[in-house]
Structure 1
């Protein structure tokens, strides 16, 4: 069988089209974790409450650019809260520098977060969301330090910091 230019172009176009439908999300297709969360706002209320970057991350599972969050350099004692509902999520003593460009933690405050399977972008990951409002925080990976071996890779715009 001989490969022709037409066969290559048609095959490449088919692969690209299938990839686009199965991997990429359009803005607004994904909404924060579904469920009956204690803290609820309408979409219009979320939009009014949050700055655009936080709204995109918390309510539409966006991702901030790495190395842009001032919380990467936050080393004071305190607590990291959900920027959407102010629930305490992570204690400062569990924060570490993962080198990934996002605030990272090896553990969370019990009951503060939930997880769901995320199959976007052609991979399987575990998405982390606030248990109070369902706001997307980031993802958890199995490459963190002791004692848990976990790395909660969190978008800085999804957090606020409260000093002790």
Structure 2
């Protein structure tokens, strides 16, 4: 009897499938269809144009180490653009110090940032990507300042800064 109980318990526990075991990750698919971005390039073309760090973050959806971005403490006025395709993504006036170690913004430039669901670390997050080339930027969280309450937590290596003239 004890053996049957242990066997049943083992089957029950091994058949449970929690979120942390689901290996979903954000993809370039919407409704089962591949997303089409205005700028389409092969891996080889992207590798030729981007630094290793940029490629790793923008094309492989990696995360740079916190507090390593040259843009983290930038206080100049201007626009943050996609490092891969120069699409304007964030205005400097929406940047704030979040203390997380990554450049943070409370608002994106509408229409230039796309969103997907990401389960890479075991729970649902909202991934952000460039709406023009599909490059991974970071994630958005609902713990930012007014007026939006959002924190766009962006890999600095995915951005280039264009100073205001």
Counterpart secondary structure, 2:143: coil
With the length of structure 1 as denominator, give the TM-score of the two structures: 0.82
Deviations 1:60-88 (A, max 9, x none): 10000000001001100000000010000
**C-alpha distance 126-77 of structure 1, shift in aligned 2 (>3 A):** same
Match of 1:55 in 2: 55
Q: How does 1:1-164 map to 2 (within 5 A)?
A: 22-23=22-23, 34-164=34-164
Q: Structure 1 unaligned runs (5+)?
A: 2-13
* Deviation, structure 1 residue 130: 0.4
Structure with the greater alpha carbon radius of gyration:
2
Match of 1:6 in 2: none
Aligned residues: 150
* Deviation, structure 1 residue 19: 9.8
CA RMSD of aligned residues (A): 2.6
* Deviation, structure 1 residue 21: 6.8
Q: Structure 2 unaligned runs (5+)?
A: 3-13
Counterpart secondary structure, 1:38: coil
Deviations 1:78-132 (A, max 9, x none): 0000001000000000000000000000001111101001111101000000000
Preserved contact between residue 32 and residue 59 of structure 1 (Cα < 8 Å):
no
**C-alpha distance 50-41 of structure 1, shift in aligned 2 (>3 A):** same
Q: Distance in 2 between matches of 1:139 and 1:66?
A: 14
* Deviation, structure 1 residue 51: 0.5
With the length of structure 2 as denominator, give the TM-score of the two structures: 0.81
**C-alpha distance 147-153 of structure 1, shift in aligned 2 (>3 A):** same
Counterpart secondary structure, 1:81: strand
Q: Distance in 1 between matches of 2:136 and 2:120?
A: 14
Q: Distance in 2 between matches of 1:55 and 1:150?
A: 26
